[in-house]
């Protein structure tokens, strides 16, 4: 009997999603004679049974397109806003899956998607996931698609900001995305020749950053490029955060856990805008004019790089092979020695942060980049 598979994209979009859909779809249809349906707008489409029948023709010409032909959302199947309530819609997802007599559903997404996928697996669905995100923070894979393109976009932005920073003898603070991980800021900072790079994994001191910029000015370098990850924080902020993280981890009751979680959420909400504050502080502490550029969603838009197209195609086609072999409950990971299926239980709920001894950190230090450590 012909196998039918479902595909959905979930979480923030990124370049390479269409390449991955195409990779899974073409291999599934053409090599393994499966039929493919897409679910619209992530897990919401699965719950609401909103589908797009996927044929080989529809997969032609999408390799180089940014975004996702299926649409995406950040909806979670177990906590979905329905009207003005939040409901557990796992049963509805299971119903849709059974209605279409699917053999499996492929969930293409980031860290949140891995957690959602495992919930569906626990409810009895056959699930395989693919790792995508510009943040590169998915545990278990060396790299996720989307990252390389975002790295290029951020690097090019820093290159362009250099010429205006030097002409005006200014500090330019550049905020990158990356969520709670520093991969994007660190990579683009190194590639773009930043003078200061601030990442969440290395809490910083504003004094140290200001001193580094003053030293540069004393040596005749009257401009500085400061690349800051959106999740970077000062040493004092890190202390506060760690206190709540510990409270959440060691909470003895549901109430304590909820309280710690809401404190953490509030911190992160208020943290938006921290780079503007930093830019103003640096200007007043150094006497050098400072400007802020927030790269934002530009980093997620447009056509994927060659490396992301290749990675997404390799992961997608390998995924079709796993579906054919009926290997489920795994994320298709990219490892130095090839593509490897990793059990979802080893991936979900974990984050891949920048290790302190990572070669990129070492290289940044060796080239005199200030990482802001007190």
Q: Which are the contacts of 270, defined by CB distance < 8 A and separation ≥ 6?
A: none
Q: Rank residues 134 and 312 by Cβ distance to ligand F6P and give the closer one.
A: 134
For ligand F6P, which is the closer residue by CB, 178 or 341?
178
Q: Which of residues 228-257 bind ligand F6P (CB under 6 A)?
A: 230
Alpha-carbon radius of gyration of the chain: 22
Q: Nearer Cβ to ligand F6P, position 154 or 165?
A: 154
Instruction: Assess 109 for contact with ligand F6P (CB under 6 A).
Output: no
| Residue 133 or 141 having the CB closest to ligand F6P | 133
User: Which range touches ligand F6P (CB under 6 A), out of 153-161, 171-179, 248-256, 303-311?
Assistant: 171-179
| Residue nearest ligand F6P, CB atom distance | 177
Q: Is 26 a binder of ligand F6P (CB under 6 A)?
A: no
Cβ contacts of residue 9 below 8 Å, gap of 6+? 17, 21, 42, 68, 70, 71, 72, 108, 109, 132
CA dist 22 and 16 (Å) reads 10
Marked catalytic residue, from 75, 135, 137, 308 = 135
12 binds ligand F6P (CB under 6 A): yes
Q: Is 7 in the site for ligand F6P (CB under 6 A)?
A: no
Choice between 23 and 111, CB closer to ligand F6P: 111
Task: Check binding of 179 to ligand F6P (CB under 6 A).
Answer: yes
Name residues whose C-beta falls within 8 Å of residue 108's C-beta, 6 or more positions apart in sequence.
7, 8, 9, 10, 17, 20, 21, 129, 130, 132
Crossing angle for the helix pair 183-191 and 359-366, to the nearest 10 degrees: 40
Q: Does 177 bind ligand F6P (CB under 6 A)?
A: yes
Distance from the Cα of residue 75 to its chain's centroid: 16
Window 119-148: contact mask with ligand F6P (x via CB under 6 A) = --------------xxx-------------
Collapsed DSSP state (helix, strand, coil) of residue 139: coil
Cα gap 257→90, rounded to integer Å: 24
The one segment of 39-47, 174-182, 317-325, 340-348 that binds ligand F6P by CB under 6 A:
174-182
Q: Which stretch binds ligand F6P (CB under 6 A): 175-183, 191-199, 212-220, 265-273?
A: 175-183
Asked whether the beta carbons of 137 and 353 are under 8 A apart, the reply is yes
The length of the chain is 374
Residue 15 touches ligand F6P, criterion: CB under 6 A? no
Q: Examine residue 110 and tell whether it contacts ligand F6P (CB under 6 A).
A: yes
Long-range contacts of 49-56 (CB under 8 A, 24+ apart): 49/95, 49/96, 49/99, 51/6, 51/100, 54/7, 54/21, 54/25, 54/29, 55/29, 56/25, 56/26, 56/29, 56/30
**Hey, CA dihedral for 5, 104, 125, 338, is it positive or negative?**
negative
Smallest gap, in angstroms, from Cβ of residue 302 to ligand F6P?
Answer: 14
Site string for ligand F6P, 276-315 (x = CB under 6 A): ------------------------x---------------
CA triplet 367, 371, 374: central angle to 5 degrees? 130
135 catalytic? Reply is: yes
- Nearest distance, CB of residue 362 and ligand F6P, angstroms: 24
Instruction: Compute the least distance from the CB of residue 59 to ligand F6P, in Å.
Output: 25
The secondary element (H helix, E strand) that includes residue 339 is: strand 338-343
Q: How far is the CB of 246 from ligand F6P (least distance, A)?
A: 23
CB of 327 to ligand F6P, least distance (A): 27
45 vs 178, beta carbon nearer ligand F6P: 178
Please, which residue, 45 or 112, has the CB nearer to ligand F6P?
A: 112
What lies within 8 Å, CB to CB, of 125 at 6+ separation is: 93, 94, 97, 102, 104, 105
Binding residues for ligand F6P, rule: CB under 6 A, are 12, 110, 133-135, 177-179, 230, 300
Kindly list the catalytic residues. 135
């Amino acid at each position: 009997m012909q196998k039918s598979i479902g595909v959905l994209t979930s979480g923030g979009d990124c370049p390479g999603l269409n390449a991955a859909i195409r990779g899974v779809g073409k291999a599934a249809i053409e090599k393994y004679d499966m039929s493919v349906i897409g679910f619209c707008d992530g897990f919401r489409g699965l719950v609401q049974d909103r589908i797009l029948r996927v044929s080989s023709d529809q997969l032609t010409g999408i390799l180089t397109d940014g975004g996702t032909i299926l649409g995406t959302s950040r909806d979670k199947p177990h906590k979905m806003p329905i009207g003005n309530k939040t409901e557990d819609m796992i049963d509805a997802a299971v119903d849709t899956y059974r209605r279409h007599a699917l053999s499996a559903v492929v969930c293409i997404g980031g860290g949140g998607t891995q957690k959602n996928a495992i919930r569906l697996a626990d409810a009895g669905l056959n699930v395989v996931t693919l790792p995508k995100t510009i943040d590169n923070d998915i545990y278990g894979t060396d790299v996720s698609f989307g990252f390389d393109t975002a790295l290029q976009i951020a690097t090019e932005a820093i290159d362009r900001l250099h010429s205006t920073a030097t002409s005006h003898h200014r500090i330019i603070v550049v905020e990158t995305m990356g969520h709670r991980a520093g991969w994007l800021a660190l990579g683009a900072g190194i590639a773009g020749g930043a003078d200061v790079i601030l990442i969440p994994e290395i809490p910083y001191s504003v004094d140290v950053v200001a001193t580094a910029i003053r030293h540069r000015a004393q040596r005749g370098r009257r401009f500085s490029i400061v690349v800051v990850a959106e999740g970077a924080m000062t040493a004092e902020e890190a202390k506060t955060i760690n206190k709540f993280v510990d409270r959440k981890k060691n909470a003895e009751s549901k109430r304590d856990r909820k309280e710690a979680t809401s404190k953490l959420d509030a911190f992160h909400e208020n943290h938006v805008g921290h780079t503007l504050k930093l830019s103003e502080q640096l200007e007043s502490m150094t006497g050098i004019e400072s400007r802020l550029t927030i790269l934002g969603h530009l980093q997620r838009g447009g056509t994927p790089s060659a490396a992301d197209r290749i990675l997404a195609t390799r992961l997608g086609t390998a995924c079709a092979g796993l579906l054919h072999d009926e290997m489920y409950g795994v994320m298709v990971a990219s490892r130095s020695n090839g593509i490897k299926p990793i059990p979802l239980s080893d991936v979900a709920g974990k984050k891949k942060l920048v290790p302190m001894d990572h070669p990129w950190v070492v290289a940044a230090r060796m080239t005199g980049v200030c990482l802001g450590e007190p």
